[in-house]
Amino acid sequence: MDQKLKFPDYENGLANLAQSVLKNFGIREKGQKTLACVDTFLEKEYENIVVFLLDGMGSRIMEKNLEETGFFRSHMKCSYSSVFPPTTVAATTSIRSGLKPCEHGWLGWDCYYPWIDQNVTVFTNMKTGTSIPAADYNVAEKYCGYETVVERINRRGGEAYEVMPFAEPFPKTMEEICGQVEMLCIKPGKKYIYAYWNEPDSTMHETGCYSSQTKQIMRKLEQQVQALSDKLEKTLLIVTADHGLVDTQNVSITDYPDIMECLVRMPSIEPRALNLFVKKEKKEQFEKAFRKAFDGSFLLLTKEQVIEKRLFGVEAEHPDFREMLGDYLAVGTGDLTIFSSRGRSRLFCRSPCRTAGRRDADSADCGGKGVKFTDR
């Protein structure tokens, strides 16, 4: 099974892109590698370095939905690896921080936090599967806080900004984001700008990876970014994805009582990267039941195998990374997605044939996140 999978390349990936930006601002971190194709472009002096992340627009998604002669594909310079899991929480945190998932600890949409012995939905700070706050503080930020690339540059006396819907002044549309990027680039002086927009991911979760709606939104994104590029001067504009997506069929783990009775708690991380804590006396039963139900659709790894394969990264680890991992990790390799309930499946995937989880991606394939450059 392993031979069919493409494992993350942590020497040619998202975190390395962030490290290239830091290097350009004179900030080097021991043991952290940069992204060679970005370094080549950064040999030239630019007043503005803009990394514009379009959620879910992996290279295969782009190739299937956009014309080869269009702005994005004609400016494609290189591909590189996402992280594991190749989903929004883990991947955007890596590009914002320059760290691998094992270092920053933001492992997926739902994480198990041993300090409070709970699964928490990371971005909402709710107990997983509920509308109940996990704590009166932000759990992820308290236990897995990190310094962003923007914060590091600013702390060292540089100038850097983030432009995204959840940062002031809270732009609500792609047009507003492009407008803010343009205005920042007009300001004198060298600066770094990280911009994020949640498309085409949101549309793909609603309608599928190759629907007419997806093609339409991607063509619009292409036009908007091209228009922005035409307005920028002395700027390196890097357009990238955090991950890709795949269309899948959804099932609920609650429909498998032989598996459920073995679990200590509900799965966490992602629906195609299930973090599973299993009762010690039930491990043999669990392995047999899980493989009977999902062999060919999921690769079941022990905790020791996950660490050995370095799925979540190499080099340093968050001090409690291993405590956040369960006894097993089930990695999607086929066309199934396993949710913790039928209700969550409907919430996250409104189309009957959708990708895994709210931010899920090619969980068995961490390759092919495109980088498109325009040099102005």
CATH architecture, domain 2-99+146-246+366-375: 3-Layer(aba) Sandwich (3.40)
Q: What is the pLDDT of residue 357?
A: 30
Which of 133-142, 213-222, 262-271, 309-318 has the weakest average pLDDT? 309-318
Q: Which string of DSSP letters, residue by residue, matches 40-104?
A: HHTTS--SEEEEEEETT--HHHHHHHS-TTSHHHHTEEEEEB--SS-SHHHHHHHHHHS--HHHH
Quote the crossing angle between the two packed helices 212-231 and 174-186, to the nearest 10°: 20
What confidence tens digit (pLDDT) does each residue in 324-333 have? Answer: 999 999 999 9
Residue ranges of domains in the chain: 2-99+146-246+366-375, 248-354
So what's the pLDDT on residue 370? 52
Does CATH place domain 248-354 in 3.30.1360.180?
yes
pLDDT at position 340 is 87
What pTM was computed for the model?
0.91
User: What's the whole-number mean pLDDT along residues 61-68?
Assistant: 96
Task: Count other C-beta atoms under 10 Å from residue 162's C-beta.
Answer: 17
Q: Do domains 2-99+146-246+366-375 and 248-354 have the same CATH topology?
A: no
How crowded is residue 63: how many other Cβ atoms within 10 Å of its Cβ? 14
Q: What is the residue-averaged pLDDT of the chain?
A: 91
pLDDT tens-digit readout, 148-200: 999 999 999 999 999 999 999 999 999 999 999 999 999 999 999 999 999 99
